[in-house]
Amino acid sequence: MLDRLVAKILRQKSYSAQSAVLTVKRLLHDAQTRIHPCILQALECRTPVVALESTILTHGMPHPHNIRTANEVEQIVRENGAVPATIGILNGRVHVGLTEEELQYLSQSKDALKVSRRDLPYALSQGACGGTTVSATMIAAHKAGIRVFVTGGIGGVHRGAEITMDVSADLTELGRTPIAVVSAGVKSILDIGKTLEYLETQGICVATFGSSREFPAFFTPRSGIKAPYNVCNVEEAASLIDSSLKYGLCSGLLIAVPIPEAHAASGQVIEEAIHQAVTEARSNGIVGKDVTPYILQRVNELTQGESLKLNVSLIKNNARIGACIACALSQIQQGNKKANSDQNKMLSSLSRPVVVGGINVDFIAKSKQKTVVFSEQTTPGTVYQSFGGVGRNLADCLTRLDMNPLFISAIGMDMHSDSVLRFCSHMDMAGVARFQDHRTATYCAVISGSGELKLGLGDMEIHQQITEQYVATFRKELCSASLICIDGNVPVSTIDFVCRLAWEHGVSVWFEPTDVDKACKPFLSDSWKSLTYTSPNIGELKAMNMSLGQRVPSEMPVLLNDVINTALMLARPLLEHLLCVVITLGPHGVLLCGRSEGGRMLIHPHRKQNPKGNVCAIHYPAITISQEEVVNVSGAGDCFAAGMIAGILSGKEMDTCVRMALFAALHSLKSNDAVSPKISPLTVTPQGNTAQCLPDVGPRWIKYSQTNNLEDILI
C-alpha cells in the first residue's frame, strides 16, 4: 500500500530517476523522519508545498514574537495557494510539517540545538530537539520532494573569511541540493561580494526578483553589487526552477527578493547598527555560529526593536512571493507531465475546461415515508454520506466524460478534507487549496420518500476562500481554457475577475447558479454580459431578472405551455448577451433558449460575441423515471449541465448534447452518489443506451414573437 502511494506521488511529481524512487521509499519507512500527513497528501495531490525553516523559532527571535511570526508566515503561504511545511527536529526525528503544539514547543525550548548539515547526525543520534538552519532545511525538504524553500536570508562568507575561513554551510548546500531558496539575499553582516563569488564557484544560479538586478542586502533592497541574473515575476522564477530540475542539475538556485522600498529608510538605520554590532562581536571574541545570533540580538537592542519589526516584514514578503512561485512551478510541472502523455491528453491539457466552484461533504437523509413531517419523533429512513458541491459535481462528471477539467476550489484541513481527496483521486485536484483553521464545507439534505428535497442545511464558509487572488494563480489555464464553468458558491469578486479575464481572452463561460439566492451574483454588475451559457431552473431565472430590474411574474405557472412561455419570456433579457440559456424544468424537461441561424439554434461559439439571429427555444421532455428509482436528487442538475458542456466541447449536434445531458442526469438520480460512477462517454450517448427509453415526444421548436403579450404573465 505504502509503495503504491510512493509510486503515485513520484508519478505526479514527474520524478524520472530510479534513484529518486528508492530515496523516497526509504524516506517514508525511515524512523528518523516524519512527514506530516497533510504534507504527504499535498504532495500526492500535486498541491504546491513551501518549506520553512525553524531556527526563526529557536534562535532567530524572542518569544512570543517567534511563534507569532511563524504562524503568520504559514498563514501567508496558505493564503497564496500553497501548503506550508515548517521543518524542525523533535526527539531525534526530522519533522517535515509541524503541528501548532510542536511549533509552540520549539518556540519556548531553552535547549534546542541550532542544526546545520554538520549537526544533523548528532541531533538525531542524541534524540535532541532543534531548529533547522537553511542547509538542514534544504536537505529535509529535498528528501520529501519539496522544490521551493522560503527563508529570511541565507548565510554567506563572513567578513575576514580570508583569515578565519568562516563560510556558511548554506552556500555549499546550495551547490549540492537541487532546491530553490527564496530569500532577501544574504545578511548584510556578511561580505556580499565574496558570497556571490563563492556561489558562482559552487555553480549556483543566482537571480534577483523584480525590476532590478542589484543584489539585496537583507534589510536594504540594494547592496551596490549586481547579481548574475534577474527574473521579473513569479512565472519567470518558476520557469527558471523548472529548467534546472528538468536538466537534472544537482545544484540549487537562489532567488533574491529585495525588501519593499517602503522599508528602505528604516533599513539604512539598521545597517549602521549592524556595523557597530560587528565591531563589538570582534572585540568580544565571538566566532563561528554564535556570531549571527549575537549580532541580530545586539542590533535589535541598538534599534530599540526596529530591526525585529523589519525582519518580520521581510520574511512575510518572502513567504508571499515564495508561495506564488511554488504555485506557478506546480502549474508548469503539471503541464510537463501532460506533455509527456499521449497526443490526445497533450491536446486536452493545452485547451481544457476549467471549473471554479465548491466542494461539499453531503449527508443525505431519505425518509421511508412519502411525506416528511418535522416533529420531535424519529422518522424512519436511511442516512448516508456522499460528496458533492456544484463545482465538484461538474468537474467529476466532466472527468468521467473524458474532458479532463482543472478544478479550482478550497477545502479545510480536517478529516472531511482527507475523505474528499481520497474520493476524488480520479480527478485533477491540483487547483484545490487546503486551509488550516477552516472547515471543509458540509451539506445535509432531508429528502422525502417521493424524492423531494424538504430541508437543506449547509456550512459553506470555506467557499469564501476561493478568492480572486487564489484563482489568479491559474491565470494561464483560465486564459487558454476551452470553457470556464463557475458556480454560484464562488464570491462575487471572484466571479467578476473570471468573467473579465474570460472576456479579454475570448473564453466561453458557463454559469451554474446553484440556488435562487446565489443566482444573482454575476448580475450585480456587468459581469453577466461576459457569460456565454447559464443553466438556471425557472426560480433562479426569475431571480436573475429581478437583479436586472426586469418585471417578473407574481406567481410561477404550473401548466406546461404556461411554464414554457414564462421561461422564454424570462430568458429574453439574458439573450441580449448570452448565447444560450438552458432552463431546467424538473418533470417538464428542459428548455433551451437562444438564437437561430439558418433554421438551427446556435450553441457552438467560436469566440464570445454579442449573439445575433432570431430568439427561439427548443423544449425537450424529461426522460421518464418512476419515484421508486429515484435515489438521490442532489447532483442531477449538475450532471445535466456537465453532459451539455461535454457535448458542446466535443462538437456534437444540439440534440445529442441534450440527450447526453439527460442521460447523465438520469444516472445521477439512480445513484447514491451525486455523480454516478456509471457515467462515461458510452453510457450517456443514445447509442450506448439502446435499452433506455427516450422520451416518446420529440423536441418542440418554439419561436419567440415580438408581438407576444408579455403583460399576460406579469404582475
Per-residue pLDDT tens over the stretch 446-465: 878 776 777 878 888 999 99
Question: CB–CB of 260/220 below 8 Å?
Answer: no
Residue 22 pLDDT level (bands cut at 50, 70, 90): very low
More confident residue, 586 or 550: 550
Q: Give the largest CA-CA distance in the chain.
A: 97
Residues facing 458 on adjacent strands: 443
> Hey, CA dihedral for 313, 297, 189, 171, is it positive or negative?
negative
**pLDDT higher than 60, residue 492:** yes
- Position 266 scores a pLDDT of 63
- Position 659 scores a pLDDT of 87
**pLDDT higher than 90, residue 82:** yes
Could you count the other beta carbons within 10 Å of the beta carbon of residue 313? Answer: 15
Domains (range + CATH), the chain: 31-146 (3.40.1790.10), 148-336 (3.40.1790.10), 352-713 (3.40.1190.20)
Residue 679 pLDDT level (bands cut at 50, 70, 90): very high
Q: Which three cell numbers stand for residue 492?
A: 462575487
Q: Give phi and psi for 710, each to the nearest 5.
A: -65, -30
The rounded distance, in Å, linking the Cα atoms of 395 and 404 is: 8
Residue 302: Cβ-neighbour burial (10 angstroms; 0-12, 13-18, 19+): middle
Out of 55-64, 460-469, 651-660, 703-712, give the one with best mean pLDDT. Answer: 460-469
**pLDDT higher than 80, residue 694:** no
The rounded distance, in Å, linking the Cα atoms of 396 and 427 is: 7
Q: How far is CA 191 from CA 140, 196, 222, 315, 714, in A?
A: 28, 9, 14, 21, 79
CA dihedral defined by 225, 231, 232, 236, rounded to 10 degrees?
Answer: -170
The rounded distance, in Å, linking the Cα atoms of 600 and 594 is: 10
- Position 422 scores a pLDDT of 86
Looking at every residue in the chain, the average pLDDT score rounds to 83
The rounded distance, in Å, linking the Cα atoms of 473 and 700 is: 44
**pLDDT higher than 90, residue 218:** no
Residues near 304 by Cβ (< 8 Å), separated by ≥ 6? none
- Position 627 scores a pLDDT of 74
Q: Give phi and psi for 91, each to the nearest 5.
A: 50, 45
Q: How far is CA 668 from CA 665, 679, 692, in A?
A: 5, 8, 15
Out of 350-359, 636-645, 698-707, give the one with best mean pLDDT. Answer: 636-645
The rounded distance, in Å, linking the Cα atoms of 581 and 258 is: 50
Q: Give phi and psi for 369, each to the nearest 5.
A: -100, 150
* Residues carrying an active site annotation: 53, 187
